[in-house]
Structure 1
Amino acid sequence: VIKTPQIVIFTLVFFLMPVMASYAHAQNEDLVGSVKIEGNKRVETSTLLYYIKTRKGEPLSRSQISKDVEQIYGLGQFKDIRVETRQGSEGMEVVFIVEEIPSIGNVLFYGNKEIEDSDMHELLGFKRGEAFQQHMMTEAKEKIKSLYHEKGFFFAKVDVISKKSDKNLMDIHIRVREGEKVGIKNILFSGNKNFSADELRDQIETKAETWISFIDESGIYKKDILKLDVFRLEAYYQDNGYLRARVQEPNIDIDKKNKEINISISVEEGSKYRVGKITSKSDDTVSENDVLKALQMKTGDVYSLSKVRAGVMSIGDIYSERGYAYADVNPITKINENSRTVDVSIEV
């Protein structure tokens, strides 16, 4: 009687063993047995596993694998990523098969005489071993052309190609045909009635070539400098009463035959404005007379924005001397189109 339950229990366990084994195998099929990386050469396996959140022993999740792929792509080092799952002894093997973007190898220059290799290396900023991207080629070409333009070589031709080396690196070959240096021959003005071309040329940084251009590099066309010159000319006009003066975008004529540049600048001067009424609200610190005296302007003077600014600074200095270092001095102006005058009111 006592042995019967043991026989029954043993028999029950014996029959349950295949069922339990089958159940355990089914469970393993749904679990991650291992995570592997294949195809990587430059990027360390440990780096990739850091970004992959699929873990051994956890349930297999397609959504998590998709997120892992996005994470790896986000590193900017791979052109293709595939994921395969294989049945293993401990569950599903998840294999990330990656194809790396080629790395930059050597950057080689040909044909450049006026600009050193080191200067172009610094400009491009390419580093050996960094991921190669196709857009780098176009950007390199434009950067080098701009550098040559800054030096006056407007006919420079630049070709950039890439070749895969024996070491599976992408070498970048840059060939330059510099051409002849081109200088500014003339800077011409139109529409200027109240100031001569020489007076206007004195206000800008861009200059035509002279016999000493080889020393001071004058006569070189620089786009950004010429843009600033437009503002300089408008400021000059406005400081001389021409508040509505407008300077049009310069026209650049590159003469390939004569190897020269001619710049034409059109000006719309408008009317001259003079100072109208000048008023100031007096207070216990500084009298109205002292304010107007510091302003150094009187009715009938040619209106000048720089003089107004200088006057405001002088008024601020007076308040500072009397213990009000942070006094806020505001010039309020009103333009009268009919009389071509500007009323100025000083508020403190």
Structure 2
Amino acid sequence: MTRLLSRRLLALALASALAVPAGAQPVDPFTVSDIRVDGLQRISAGTVFTYLPVERGDTLDPTRAAEAIRALYKTGFFEDVRLDQQGNILVVTVTERPAINKLTITGNKDIKTEDLTKGLADIGLAEGDTFDRLALDRVTQELVKQYNNRGKYNVEIKPTVARLDRNRVDLTIAITEGKAAKIRHINLVGNEKFQDEEILDTWESRESNWLSWYRRDDQYSREKLSGDLERLNSFYLDRGYVDFSVDSTQVSISPDRQDMFLTAGVTEGEQYKVSSVQVSGDTILPKEEIEKRILVQPDQIFSRRLLEISSDAITATLGNVGYAFAQVNAIPDVDREAKTVGITMQVVPGPRVNVRRIAFKGNTRTSDEVLRREMRQFEGSWYSQAALDRSKIRLQGLGYFETVDVETQPVPGSPDQVDVIVNVKETTSGSFVFGVGYSQLSGVTTQVQLSQNNFLGSGNRVSIEANRNAYLQRYEFSFLNPYFTDSGVSLGYNLAWREFDNSDFNTAQFSRTTRLGQVILGIPLTETDSVSAQLGVESDQLFTFPGATPQSAIDYIDAVGNRTFHTVRAEVGWARNSLNHALTPTAGMYQRLGAEVALPGSTVEYYKFTYEISKFWPLSRHLVLNTRGRIGYGDSYGDEFVRDICFIAPTQQNPNPTITPQEECTTASPDYVRTIRADGLPFFENFYAGGVSSQGRVRGFTDNTLGPRDIAASGFAQPIGGSLQTVGSLEVFFPTLLDTPAARVSAFLDFGNVYRDFDSFDAGELRASAGASILWRSPMGPISISYAYPLRKDDTDDIERLQFTFGGTF
């Protein structure tokens, strides 16, 4: 659009430069002995002499004088030029055009300021250039025309020129765009085979409707109507109407310039079938391979769309073996009497092409090496469209770039070589969070978190976090090199020390101090499949609160007989990722199957399995459906911990009796014995559901509150999680709603719950909610806001309809 606007404004400027008045000129010819220039202020005399086609010793006659005046006018420097004679001296008197001191554009929204400024600069209307009133008038008319083409017929363009000293001006262009005229009615005349609604469903222009507030499809523009007429033609050609034609189009506007009425007259003609399909030309590959990619078959209804798909499939096939400029021409042979079309697919392969060079543009932070190792097209090898497509998907999968565009450029003088140019637009790939706060409960709170998925542009992932207050201390460091080897084997490690009160997370009231060291290994299997392994040592020290911690948690710890749990943890996982974008996917699938085992010798021996799947289905240009599910299950596999807790009634000698283990009960003469057990998945490893967490997302319910609850001695019921988790969702994204790839709006249906164990599963206990969500990678950080209405709930559930998350990024 910028280039088109610049060309139009430039054409207007050239036209205005030629329309100049003639100045006074000498009548009688004479020989010029000297030349004097009067009236110069900013422009030097040397500049005038450069353009003046008259020199000392020349004979000046009326014809040469007119040529001299035109030459000086064409420079664009002068408002007036006069030639006079003083003896044999030629006197050139000029009036300079003022210089533009400042150029201001206001009120424009539909056309960006940078586009307007660039277009004006291309024709010399820029700060520091000379000012041409005629060019300004012509540009004003062109801008009105540009806005009219966008359906804005009430636009007003008011240029203002303010004179300053030293022959300068300030130029202001005030634009009042007004509202775009809305399409009130679209009328098709001549269509008998298809209803208006079926035809207009393919149009970008629509009559004003309830969705027009965000689609803006009811705003008229000439370019959009031209595209719709082409869609109308395609609609009929895709259904066999070879003789279809658009006979007339009429656009009318209401007197107040607010309503548009569109009419198109058409001739449908008869429907044609395919009589034969042949392949000709140099197919390179066996003809049978080419014929397999042709979707059009004899006796089918003719379809231009199937022809185009077939041509593209053949072109892509040849492109995969190096023929980057292959062409497939579908040549029709129309028999109007028989109402049939014979088709010849003519293959023109062109030269076989190899890639001379691959260059990257736009990666200001990310090094070329990080991008180059994701490329599946290599320099010096045969061109492959499939390899380029896969390279683009892998680059988008990094999550470092908002957009990735791949283009090929022919090498001048080498028809068998191309250069591949990869243009990227970087996005935020890290986060920085810093906070200081104070509360009566926890005192001063400080938090510093720094994470970068593309550390110093190297592709390595680094995260450092420090968080501390009266009840929470957490220090973590993690590092991952995704290309520890050239083959893509990743290696990393995590180090962490955490001490926190679980009550902050809507879970059972207990505190936990964790020390963790972990090594991570990842191995790619294919372009989409990979396996990972983790081995770590963890120490957890648990503390309970009398009267606040659920009795089941206290019993578990007492049955084990130790508040410190040592774990040697091994994790293995398999993942398949075919998503077309890491940040805003619109197609593809992600699956992961993981197993986590506390190895023999750990204080508690247990295992956990998780499986998650997420698939994106592109429904249309405006809609993408995401189906997501996750299931998790865990249990113990080692020996069961069983203990008998003995209670002794108080006596005069011992008014405060203690709880003693079983082996002391015979001498202590207990008044009551209770057997406690520690089996199943440890309560501090339970799954949770509810809220916006990605691992247990059921929006509309407070984080981590779904599922089993246990009652403490105080009578307060607390969520304690469970060993079985089932959650899922159906979510429809509207990618074009906010007109930016960094934002998405969605409508969702979430469902799920957690259960104490596998035998406790009851589909009737599943919770469900529906609502809307906004996801935005803002310059200040990723923001997620959702509003959900619970559809299936229990009176004891904690409801939280409006939920949001925010994190700072850089």
TM-score (norm 2): 0.33
Q: State the alpha-carbon separation in 2 of the partners of residues 31 and 254 from structure 1.
A: 63
Aligned residues of 1:156 and 1:177 also touching (Cα < 8 A): yes
Q: Distance in 1 between matches of 2:31 and 2:257?
A: 78
Structure 1 unmatched ranges of 5 or more: 1-28
Could you tell me which residue of structure 1 aligns to residue 35 of structure 2?
35
Residue in structure 2 matching 1:61, options 59, 62, 76: 59
- Whole-Å separation in 1 of the counterparts to 2:232 and 2:342: 24
Relative contact order: is structure 1 or structure 2 higher (C-alpha 8 Å, sep ≥ 6)?
1
Q: Distance in 1 between matches of 2:198 and 2:111?
A: 38
Per-residue deviation, 1:242: 0.8
Q: Which amino acid aligns with 2:92?
A: F
Match of 1:242 in 2: 241
Matched, 1:100 2:99: no
Equivalences for residues 169-318 of structure 1 within 5 A: 169=168, 181-256=180-255, 259-280=258-279, 292-315=291-314
The 5 Å alignment of 1:102-141 reads 102-104=98-100, 112=107, 118=113, 122=117, 124-125=120-121, 126-128=125-127, 129-141=129-141
Q: Which runs of 5+ in 2 are unaligned?
A: 1-29, 348-810
Q: What CA distance in whole angstroms lies between the structure 2 residues aligned with 1:324 and 1:140?
A: 48
Partner residue in 2 for 1:341? 340
Deviation at 1:98, TM superposition (A): 1.5
Once the 2 structures are TM-superposed, how far is the Cα of residue 220 of structure 1 from its aligned partner? 1.1
Most deviating of 116-125 and 221-230: 116-125
> Partner residue of 2:78?
78
CA contact 1:145–1:158 (8 Å) conserved in 2: no
Report if the CA contact (8 A) 2:180-2:220 is conserved.
no
User: Which moved further from structure 2: 140-149 or 242-251?
Assistant: 140-149
Which AA in structure 2 matches 1:59?
G
Aligned letter for 2:75?
L
Segment of structure 1 superposing worse, 272-281 or 157-166: 157-166
8 Å Cα contact 2:248/2:266 also seen in 1: no
Separation in 2 of the partners of 1:280 and 1:85?
Answer: 79
CA separation of 1:326 and 1:136: change in aligned 2, threshold 3 A: closer
Cα distance, 1:228–1:100 mapped onto 2, change above 3 Å: same
Q: CA deviation at 1:155?
A: 2.7
Measure how far apart 1:192 and its partner are.
1.9
What CA deviation, in whole Å up to 9, does each residue of 1:2-22 have, x standing for no partner? xxxxxxxxxxxxxxxxxxxxx
Aligned to 1:20: none
Larger helix share, 1 or 2: 1
Q: Distance in 1 between matches of 2:51 and 2:76?
A: 13
Contact 1:109/1:117 (8 A) holds in 2: no
What is the CA deviation profile of residues 169-222 of structure 1, one whole-angstrom value per residue up to 9, with x for unaligned ones?
455565666555532223332222222222222222223333343334332111
Quick one: structure 1 residues 328 and 247, their matched pair in 2 at CA, closer, same or farther if it must change by over 3 Å?
Answer: closer
How big is the shift at 1:60? 4.2
Note the C-alpha offset of 1:262. 2.6
Q: Whole-Å Cα distance in 1 between the matches of residues 278 and 79 of structure 2?
A: 71
Q: Indicate the residue corresponding to 1:23 in structure 2.
A: none
8 Å contact kept, 2:36–2:91: yes
Separation in 2, partners of 1:284, 1:157: 58
Give a deviation string over 1:16-42, Cα, whole Å, max 9, x none: xxxxxxxxxxxxx9672x432101223
Q: How many positions carry a matched residue from both structures? A: 311
Q: Structure 1 residue 341: deviation in Å?
A: 0.3
Q: Distance in 1 between matches of 2:157 and 2:320?
A: 61
CA positional deviation for 1:232: 1.7
RMSD: 4.1
| Alignment partners' CA distance in 1, 2:316 and 2:102 | 61
Render the CA deviation track for 1:240-277: whole Å, top value 9, x for unaligned.
11111112443223234694323222222111111113
Check the 8 A contact 1:137/1:161 in 2, yes or no: no
Give % identity: 21
Higher strand share: 2
